[in-house]
A and B are shown apart, each in its own frame.
Chain A
Amino acid sequence: MKAFSNKKNKRRYSPRRKFLKSGLVLSAAFISGSTSISSCSGDNSTKSGKKTRLLTQDGNLVEVDESNIHESHKHCIKASLKEERKGIPGRKFVMVIDLAKCRNARKCIEKCQEAHNLPPDQEWMKVYLIKDSQHTEPYWFPKPCFHCDNPPCVKVCPVDATFKRKDGIVLIDNHRCIGCKFCLTGCPYSARIYNWKEPEIPEDIKNQQYSAETSVPAMIGTVSKCDFCPDMCRIGKVPHCVSACPNGAIYYGDLNEDAVSNGNEVVRFSELMSDKGGYRYAEELGTEPCVYYLPPKERIFPVKSGFKNLSEEEKARYKNIIK
């Protein structure tokens, strides 16, 4: 029974079954067989029992019953809480950030804030300017949640509100969190954010059912953080920060497939690691992060270019590094 339901879910959430494009199919006798379908906009009500062919997202043609179209789309957006705690089967998500390509454009932060209804002062992705030692060159250091495989934040949670999924993602159940803030002190990377006041989000979003995968809506007195956007994966898209980066500095993908994508190109994770000297931040802490970094070698942008679009206030953040 369990295996069966897993299989069912796997199929349901597989990107292959997402019908995102609409069109018109011409059969051999193309005039009589033409059918118009709009699967996503949902403005046309289609009759059941009629077979129709659709172009799937990855370019395959599939034949489905029309009555399934709306149904399957509806379900692909939100998984149940139980599913959310389990994770997407067979996946192991990783992120690779190429420090050579980051110039603090802050597009990842902006897009992330927009997608998760965050106020401007809450940054799930933070960009630090790091100068490791006196004679080394500073570099921009984008830092999401590391989704550690040995997560110190999950260890200390007294109520299982934050949890580690099978696919490697660490999420938060906002309805269970008691706001003890222990996970904030537990995280050595300061990745977590506390909702100190009533979040200012539109009423209709506030009334939404909370989903751990989207981390929306935020709730006062609870914790939130970067969620690696598994909801985007369920519709076959890369996380918001990845697609927003103008320089393609952030790669995201499945370690089991040995492939990561920055939205434009797909590269083999193992090649990236071996060719560019990938590493993890603060390996000695033993937290086993799922975020890898490529050293800032052969940089595309000088460090200073990162100050270009910053307000004076934002520049003040880095005053200790560059004097």
Chain B
Amino acid sequence: MKPDNKNKNLINEFTPFLERPDKVWFLKISVLFLFIAIGFYAFYVQVKKGHIVTGMRDHVVWGIYIINFIFFLGLSYAGALISCIFHLARIQWGKPLMRMLEMTATISLVIAPVYILLCIGRVDRLHHLLIYARIQSPITWDVIAIVTDLFFCFVFLYFTHIRDFARLRDLPEIKVSRWRKRLYRFLALGYRNTPEQAKYLNQALDIMAAIIIPTSIIAYSLLAWLFGMNLRPGWHSSIFAPYFVLTAVYSGIALLIVIMWIYRKVYNLEKYITIEHFYYLGFVLIILDLFYGYFTFSEYITEWYNSQKTPTLLLYKFFNFSEYGGLFIFSNFIAAFLPLIIIGIPWFRSVKSITITSALVIVALWIKRYLIIVPTLETPYIPIQDNRAEWVHYSATWVEWALTLAGIATFILFFIFSSKIAPIIPVSAMEDKTKKIKIFYHKKN
């Protein structure tokens, strides 16, 4: 937490991770590839036979693909949002976490749209989204927002890497292949850390950070409106956009804690990712947990109090244990109360308990998305009267689960790969500790 100012050569500590990987690394990679291969097979089956192989039917037309889409997109926007806030607010203790957040933002933003493609019946006609685009459709908004955000996140990620690339380029002793060295040279853009260059780079970073914050909030709100604009009980709610953004940040912080814990274990980073990091983020988690509970309560109390027919029917499903009662209680207890108990009471508080709570919160929030999508679609205004069980109740098939696991595997795989290209912690930024970073809104001195 309090790294001494002498760590000028921090980079040397992290270069070994970039060098040639060991056998265990390859084993990990191949296991992940196995999952991805199964996912590809499932995708092949789906393309071959149509969406009939999924659990989706005419009433529940969106299943766990969309849930994964919301989930990953939420992680992405949360990652971007938090890292940009850390950056703009110059939060010094957040520095070691920046790269994790940026990686989360970018990687999950690459994975999330894949789930939308899985959900689309005619992927061969994807270009229609451009040539026949209708600005009235929330899908068009989402396409624009995701493409914009993808650009911004990639560019911001690159901006934050420039200093590290420059450091790596200037390390003669690093044991990496020649193309990697050449790559570092190319990507470093001739950055020599002159005061002028530093000024411009900082300005560029500040501009990107400033623009990513509203972009990610708008983009995730648009996703919420994709549901909120539908005349459906449980979706047609004006609280949806802020609720979605909050849930995203909540899940993003929870994931950050889990990634921190894994990095600490795998790379022995106890020196940089300290107990205080866990505590600080744990407190953030409590605040978000309270907000989440407040939003959830306010969402359901308004629905329940008015007791309109179809929304009430939906609410009864949440409190009926033969329907969604179990999932509802599980998800809301964990997401709205568990952090409060485990992290809030000092007696329970520890790195391990915070991490486990965070992992549970991630699961609970995934289930929360499931509860947003599936029960609503099962409760249309005209109650479903169908004699086909799979038309009435949704249950995901192996194809959908395989592709979900493949998505998670890809997420981890990309993280592992990225850790081979650049240091897992923004070393140059941490070396920069002594220097005061000029804040972009300062007047010229």
Contacts and interface: CB of A to CB of B under 8 A. Distances in A.
Contact of A178 (B56, B62, B128): B128
B386 A317 contact: yes
Interface centre among A128, A160, A180 (most CB of B within 10 A): A180
B136 interface: yes
A301 interface: no
Interface in A128-180: 128-130, 143, 152, 155-161, 176-180
Interface in B122-158: 122, 125-126, 128-129, 132-134, 136-140, 143
A323 to B, nearest CB: 14
Contacts of B136: 155-156
Interface in B361-413: 377, 380-388
Interface stretch (B45-53, B96-104, B213-221): B45-53
Contact of A181 (B52, B62, B129, B229): B62
Interface in A187-216: 188-190, 192-198
Interface in B305-349: none
Contacts of A155: 136-137, 229
A157 B134 contact: yes
A221 interface: yes
Contact of B121 (A152, A158, A179): A179
B377 A285 contact: no
A289 B143 CA distance: 30
A110 to B, nearest CB: 16
- Classify the secondary structure of B's interface with A: loop
Interface centre among B57, B377, B385, B388 (most CB of A within 10 A): B385
- Classify the secondary structure of A's interface with B: loop
A229 B405 CA distance: 45
A300 interface: no
B120 interface: yes
22 contacts: A128-B385, A155-B136, A155-B137, A156-B229, A158-B129, A158-B132, A177-B125, A180-B119, A182-B226, A184-B58, A184-B61, A185-B230, A185-B377, A186-B230, A186-B231, A188-B231, A189-B380, A195-B121, A196-B50, A198-B50, A221-B122, A317-B385
Given A185-B61, A189-B381, 18 more contacts: A128-B382, A143-B382, A156-B230, A157-B134, A157-B137, A176-B128, A178-B122, A178-B128, A180-B120, A181-B121, A188-B381, A189-B380, A190-B384, A194-B61, A196-B56, A220-B121, A314-B387, A317-B385
Interface of A: 121, 126, 128-130, 143, 152, 155-161, 176-182, 184-186, 188-190, 192-198, 220-222, 282, 285, 287, 313-314, 316-318, 320
